[in-house]
Chain A
């Protein structure tokens, strides 16, 4: 689940009702464009100039509903329609939560949409791939040069083996527009008051936490009532202790790694040590995610480990006082949890895959990245090049570019197995509460992981 920005206030129970309605609504859409001109010839040749395919309708399901997200989508759709007047885009936009619950039915429908934004994880994209509902895009990747456009550390999150048992290798199934990375937000004035520099690496970060605690400040803010926020704390810490390829194997639920290693124990112990030392605000497991970052804006804390999606809200509230950084690992390069926005994929039922692929190419090309940056999003490519001059967004762009180009973008750990979000969420709550030891914590993760890997063989 990439988009952890979702609030839990949405009544999930509604999902079921909306589900039925939408399935019937979409049954009526997207019937045009059945012309055979663009269908893939058996030789594998693909058409990249779609101006000659005749009048077609392209049905797109996305979840770009928030301010800047919606704005970029509208701009890009308009530009696409101007470039290809023969293509009519039928856009169906829903919130992340709604899309998660409705997509399953929609995509299995005989009249499925052509382009859908599918969550990278095994629960969504993986299942779609396994049942043959998505079209592999490797031929288009060659034709359009997508492998040059994207960093491999990004593309792996929309890559699966044909039977979807392996995540991160095999065929390419989609392209994301935006990136996400977890790092450390901090209050510049607090840091100055404490006489501290921005910590360059994790040991320095530890010292900064200790100094802040000494001075009577709350060093590290965390709101973990929702269970997933602690994953974003554990992720970067794990990145500093454990080899990135190991983490990627574990995080993507592929065989060949183990949670119960000594370096994972060190990572878990480090997080628990922060809790034991009282570095976190009181009662993290009973504090809301939003309350934690709001505490930073209110000057009630020094550091906050969180995702790049918080930058906009934090900078609205704190202006130039907020900064963003990522401590370097012992090995040197940066490594942190992160990922991409939901990738745009082409369904197997797409009437005209050429048009669908051309659309995806268009909304992820270099100009599109500029549009994304202009509308306040974090573009997944050319990030450093088009970074804003100053402010916290400049920091975020720099960190993301550095991680994707020179370091490792580690997967959200809950990608691993269908049940892993719950398993690690609960296990982390217990770890922070001091109810389990790091070893017991890791055994729980290992049990879930190894059971899943075994079931895939």
Chain B
């Protein structure tokens, strides 16, 4: 993220003879920066501008100050979307990282044959396009879908549900799809971290009489703190900006029980025609993402960049 800083610092001010050379790094950066500016910063600026206006996308925009943001706080539906995003963080980030830690520890410690195969299988959901994942799971969750059929097969008829049409269960059901997707990423990241831990540390621990569980908490977990923070950051961002999964599986339903901020952005912009409100929602989401990820990095120790 802030890779640019050390590179720029090398030229160093106060040595006028090297001024020209100090510009060279910027020249290297320029193409990427121009692209980044044109496709990230300019749209962000425009979105901020729109977020302060009342505009239907056709007529002339009217400046309304922070009204659109006030609406987000006032509108129960939009607040609810943010609450759902927080619930999804549990399913997209916390659960996968917890599972990932266990899986990674098992896979690195035990000398399984065909480790590469298992790693691939666990990582596979990450590779599949989200829309495909969503369509597949929609069929699994269908009233006559695989999940209910399996339940009936083993005699658990009473547990069968309309998984995507139930007011309390649909959000967790959608969240679990996210868990399925994110676990692979978390596991592979953590496995990379664990493979760096020197073997003799474990030997030393074992000589001191530590069991597998103790080893995990005393050695493995602290060693992969950096990777854990990276995994959490990536998956939390994925949780907060979920769109495709909700759009394809439930359209935010039943009722409003699974709407998320990105879905509301889409709805406001393309269905309701409230470009200002949609932009405000987008900006608010960006801020929330920044704050939460900053918080995670703060708690996890600020040296994430190096841990990578």
Contacts and interface: CB of A to CB of B under 8 A. Distances in A.
A47 B271 CA distance: 38
B207 to A, nearest CB: 55
A128 B250 CA distance: 31
B58 A133 contact: yes
B78 interface: no
Nearest to B77: A422
A8 interface: yes
B243 A13 contact: yes
Given A127-B273, A227-B251, A286 B59 contact: no
Contacts of A421: 271
B202 to A, nearest CB: 46
A173 to B, nearest CB: 15
Interface in A416-457: 418-419, 421-422, 425-426, 429-430, 433, 435
A12 interface: yes
A358 interface: no
Contacts of A286: 141-143, 161-166, 170, 254
A282 B270 contact: no
Interface string A106-136: 0110000000000000010001101101000
A284 B144 CA distance: 12
Interface in B232-289: 243-244, 247-248, 250-251, 253-256, 266-267, 270-274
B57 interface: yes
A111 to B, nearest CB: 16
A376 interface: no
Interface band, chain B: 35 or more
A226 B164 contact: no
Contacts, number: 108
A13 B266 contact: yes
Interface string B55-88: 0111100000000000000000000000000000
A206 interface: no
A225 B247 contact: no
With a 10 A CB-CB cut-off, give which of B56, B266, B270 has the most chain A CB atoms: B270
Contacts of A199: none
A101 B275 CA distance: 12
A11 B247 CA distance: 8
A291 B142 contact: yes
A429 B254 contact: yes
A130 B243 contact: no
Nearest to A228: B251
A285 B250 CA distance: 9
A226 B58 CA distance: 28
A127 B58 contact: yes
B167 A288 contact: no
Nearest to A101: B270
B244 A13 contact: yes
Contacts of A435: 167, 255
Given A284-B165, A426-B256, A430-B255, A225 B250 contact: yes
Contact of B270 (A8, A15, A128, A288): A15
A314 to B, nearest CB: 19
Given A281-B143, A283-B165, A131 B253 contact: no
A413 to B, nearest CB: 15
Nearest to B249: A225
With a 10 A CB-CB cut-off, give which of A282, A286, A287, A429 has the most chain B CB atoms: A286
Contacts of A133: 58
Contacts of A429: 165, 253-255
A171 to B, nearest CB: 18
A220 to B, nearest CB: 15
Interface in A130-153: 130-131, 133
B131 interface: yes
A196 B137 CA distance: 39
A436 to B, nearest CB: 10
Interface string A6-22: 00110111010000000
B135 interface: yes
A13 B243 CA distance: 8
Contacts of B163: 286
Contact of A283 (B143, B243, B255, B271): B143
Given A130-B59, A419-B272, A12 B247 contact: yes
A135 to B, nearest CB: 16
Given A8-B248, A9-B135, A13-B244, A283 B162 contact: yes
B247 to A, nearest CB: 6
Nearest to A414: B271
A405 interface: no
A90 interface: no
A169 interface: no
Contacts of A9: 131, 135, 248
19 contacts: A12-B266, A101-B270, A104-B58, A123-B271, A130-B59, A131-B59, A225-B164, A225-B250, A225-B251, A227-B251, A227-B253, A281-B143, A283-B161, A286-B142, A286-B254, A291-B142, A425-B253, A426-B255, A430-B254
Interface of B: 56-59, 131, 135, 138, 141-144, 161-167, 170, 243-244, 247-248, 250-251, 253-256, 266-267, 270-274
Closest 4 CB pairs of A and B: A286-B165, A283-B162, A285-B165, A286-B162
Given A8-B248, A283-B165, 18 more contacts: A11-B131, A107-B58, A123-B271, A123-B272, A131-B58, A225-B165, A225-B254, A226-B251, A227-B251, A284-B165, A285-B164, A286-B163, A286-B166, A286-B254, A288-B142, A291-B142, A426-B253, A433-B165
Interface of A: 8-9, 11-13, 15, 100-101, 104-105, 107-108, 123, 127-128, 130-131, 133, 224-227, 281-288, 291, 418-419, 421-422, 425-426, 429-430, 433, 435
